[in-house]
Structure 1
């Protein structure tokens, strides 16, 4: 649990004289009763108890918190107000010491008799909600806040934010939305976390279009925040609204908002999915050169695939081969060789295809078929024939290989070459 704010000497002094605290909205407040409570005569502690509390305060002021607690625990007031007041201070001091079990116990005891002055009662009721949420007692915390709302009849966006967070922790995602909306509406300065809670809840509920709407709202409310732009671009990618995603991510890219490798990857994906694989390849390659995207096998393969989609065959082959070299990937060597064959770079294709076969590619038929053609177009008919015969061992290339064997034999015979 995160440490609760410590009570300063001034805060305790205010508490001793009847301090104030902020309020929140109520589920069903009785406003007439609330006004009566507010107008009621202020209670003060009896002289004996008051002196002891003052002495405890002096100890607290000397940073002798344990001694102050011990003195307060020795008190056993008969008056309900005095007893509630002492329990209230004990709850606060134990909270400061991060002994939350004791803090909750004494806070509950302070609340139970409903004997404190109005604002003090409101203060301690809210503290109970804070303590319960801080100790992951989320359901109890929500109830404490609701009781506080009923008692005060006031509104507080921050409390709604805590309630929304509690429902999220309880995985009651449907219940997150309403308090999150009230939290957003109830604070003067926009708080991004309230919007993000809504987004997270909508994703958990698989209401992706609603999540995107909140993402769009985030961009409107926090236009200078780089993360909300890149997050929205990611949302559009997940919901397959590629055109809008492309627009948002391009703006973020141009503004220099990218901070993570994944931002560049999302942009590359969106370029590719909006039929601009060449731009995807260019952006991706620049990011790799600039160190924004790590030069890994996976990333180089993605770059190669973008160039492949863009029909930039030579560049695609180059990056497939670079990726293949990282761990001797037979299939990537085969792809590089196949593309070099398409680019009519037959000698280079032979080298890569033989490497793929040497490393044990799973697609031997395709590799041998491409190898046969690469040899053939170099006039190496014996090697071409040997390769095309091996291609017939693979059912997926057998028919093609048989027809090509006939063609190779015919060409070799015409040139007077014996196979």
Structure 2
């Protein structure tokens, strides 16, 4: 039942304080005696009278049996005579109320009740400590972070001991939620330093909180270091990809490529967008062949749809890698999905590069017919060179004449025109000599 879970929740600070709500019979008597003994050792606390104890024990028994309504009725009977109770009895009454309200998922009333506990002056220090700590957690649960910090600082001042790593993390979490990022970072780093000094691995959520603090403080280099730790300790696909992104942000593209490539080889890259990003990285770092092969594998595995733009990227990668033979089938496929002649013009160039003169002519003519080519002058240049290699001099000169009208192609067209004319004259003279 939920009240039993609360006992574990409440008893986080002081091992000497045990929540009586979960106890019955002889256990209840032992706890009350132990608390009174602890109280006398720290502060003078009035004793709990038998009649009050009997009613609290009765409420305890009803709660154990699942009759919450009856349990509240017993507590209400005690509260009706609250003016006759001493401070310790009042504290224990409100303590029971807090447990009961929490068991009913009424966190707000649980907080009110526990605040009444610490409002009593003469109560055991262990009870005050554990209740303040619980109040901090409950206030955090209610997203009242400023109030949670008030309780935590009261608890810390009263406790007087060095914070454990778990307690440091609680402070860090509350400070972070209250947008006090430097304070949050200070506490989480103390927690991490404590466990690493012992040779242990920091908990994953601690590192995530540390990363979030650095992010809010706009310290990308430190975010990157935390991501390196997350990859090293927890090796999750998302962390590899995030680390690659951080390397890009701080300008370490070489490390970004290395991380992304390792992630791909480990099978961590599954999303189409991440695969495309890796292909673009390969192209950026002048390793086009890897980009082309990556896309080829992604198409085959169905991880990337062979859309026109991705086919174009793969074809350009093969061309940049001087693998025109492998670019040709990709360009043919892309041409079939396109509504213009752009891929036909690229196909003409690849055919020219592989000495397939007639196929180059066919593709160039198709590109001219379909239109929409970005660099039309180049199409005429390819057409002219292919005709020249087939010794179609007139067609070659005609193509170069067309290319002259395009500024970016005119210089090369002029040079080729002169060269073709000389070759044409030479071939005529050679023919006449043979005759």
1:177 aligns with 2:177: no
1:311 aligns with 2:322: yes
Tell me the distance in 1 between the aligned counterparts of 2:368 and 2:128. Answer: 78
Contact 2:22 2:64 in 1 (8 A): no
1:15 aligns with 2:19: yes
Contact 2:39 2:125 in 1 (8 A): no
Question: What TM-score do the two structures reach when normalised by structure 2?
Answer: 0.69
- Residue by residue over 1:7-31, the C-alpha shift from the partner in whole angstroms, topping out at 9 and shown as x without a partner, is 3189389412799xxxxxxxxxxxx
Unmatched tracts of structure 2, length 5 or more: 11-17, 24-37, 429-435
Q: 1:52 to 1:244 in 2, by over 3 A?
A: same
1:212 aligns with 2:220: no
1:161 aligns with 2:157: no
Q: Secondary structure at the match of 1:179?
A: helix
The farther-off stretch of 392-401 and 164-173 is 392-401
1:146 aligns with 2:142: no
Tell me the distance in 1 between the aligned counterparts of 2:344 and 2:103. Answer: 65
Tell me the distance in 1 between the aligned counterparts of 2:361 and 2:180. Answer: 61
Larger Rg: 2
In structure 1, what is the equivalent of residue 214 of structure 2? 202
Contact 1:85 1:116 in 2 (8 A): no
More helix by share: 2
In structure 1, what is the equivalent of residue 30 of structure 2? none
- Correspondences of 1:291-306 after superposition (within 5 Å): 291-293=302-304, 295-297=306-308, 299-306=310-317
- Correspondences of 1:80-95 after superposition (within 5 Å): 80-95=87-102
- Correspondences of 1:269-280 after superposition (within 5 Å): 269-280=280-291
Contact 1:237 1:245 in 2 (8 A): yes
Q: Secondary structure at the match of 1:8?
A: helix
In structure 2, what is the equivalent of residue 29 of structure 1? none
Measure how far apart 1:191 and its partner are: 0.6
Q: 1:258 aligns with which of 255, 262, 268?
A: 268
Q: 1:286 aligns with which of 297, 306, 309?
A: 297
Q: 1:270 to 1:179 in 2, by over 3 A?
A: farther
Tell me the distance in 2 between the aligned counterparts of 1:215 and 1:80. Answer: 52
- Correspondences of 1:311-390 after superposition (within 5 Å): 311-319=322-330, 322=333, 325=336, 328=339, 331=342, 334-349=345-360, 354=366, 358=370, 360-367=372-379, 370=382, 373=385
Measure how far apart 1:152 and its partner are: 1.8
Q: 1:176 to 1:379 in 2, by over 3 A?
A: farther
Q: Secondary structure at the match of 2:19?
A: helix
Unmatched tracts of structure 1, length 5 or more: 20-34
- Residue by residue over 1:149-185, the C-alpha shift from the partner in whole angstroms, topping out at 9 and shown as x without a partner, is 2222341323333443444445544444212212323
Q: Secondary structure at the match of 2:3?
A: coil
The farther-off stretch of 160-169 and 121-130 is 160-169
Tell me the distance in 2 between the aligned counterparts of 1:290 and 1:328. Answer: 27
Q: Secondary structure at the match of 1:7?
A: helix
Contact 2:168 2:188 in 1 (8 A): yes
Measure how far apart 1:83 and its partner are: 3.0
Tell me the distance in 1 between the aligned counterparts of 2:142 and 2:341. Answer: 55
Q: 2:43 aligns with which of 31, 40, 52?
A: 40
1:120 aligns with 2:116: no
Measure how far apart 1:186 and its partner are: 4.4
Q: Output the aligned Cα RMSD.
A: 4.4
Tell me the distance in 2 between the aligned counterparts of 1:37 and 1:341. Answer: 99
Q: 1:404 to 1:164 in 2, by over 3 A?
A: farther
Larger relative contact order (CA 8 Å, sep ≥ 6): 1
1:57 aligns with 2:67: no
Q: Secondary structure at the match of 1:136?
A: coil
Tell me the distance in 2 between the aligned counterparts of 1:271 and 1:311. Answer: 15
